[in-house]
Amino acid sequence: MRILVAEDETIIRLDLRALLESAGFDVCAEAKDGEEAVELARSQEPDLAVLDVKMPKLDGIEAARRILEERPIPIVMLTAYGQDELVSRAVEAGVFGYLVKPFREQDLLPAIAAARARHDELQTVRAEAESLADALAARKVIERAKGLLMEKEQLNEQEAFARLRKASQASGRPLKVIADAVVATLAGDE
């Protein structure tokens, strides 16, 4: 797994790199401020980012928000501050993990694993929601096409659906494409 580390304190950044590499991760990029983190996330395309909250130029939470706008990856925030307001901002930005400094390897590695798991779950849910939305949209246009065929051709529901299905099979096109064409053709006659 390729990891971006963004930490303005050099010693902590080097410690993080050493911890991650000893755990078998590839630290593909290191940033010393939030703007650099966003640029490196764009150019290096890491699989995960570990960002400090308080960094120059752009804080870690805003950097996380910008990174996630372009490419959804799991992000773990590091901070010396456990303030509720910071945690809330991090969660709103889409961050998946939050660690308070000083941290140890036994804190960091489970936070990374949890962030990856939560990110994967969210991606799965988003894909399912998108698939359901597509199915619902297809169902709506098919129902509309059936209704138009029933009205214009004096068919019952089964006959209208059979005609759509037959046209789909004959043309080798999805039922939704056929239904869209029927709606475009027959709805214009209304």
Provide the pLDDT for residue 190: 54
In the chain, beta strands by DSSP E? 2-6, 26-31, 48-52, 75-79, 97-100
Q: How does pLDDT run across 37-59, given as a tens digit for each residue? A: 999 999 999 999 999 988 889 88
Distances (CA, A) of 74 to 85, 112, 184: 21, 8, 43
Residue stretches of the chain with pLDDT short of 50: none
Domains and CATH numbers, the chain: 2-103 (3.40.50.2300), 131-187 (1.10.10.10)
CA 49 centroid distance within chain = 14
User: Residue 45: its pLDDT value, please?
Assistant: 94
Tokens of 64: 């996380």
- The phi, psi pair for 52, rounded to 5°, reads -75, 145
DSSP structure class, residue 53: S
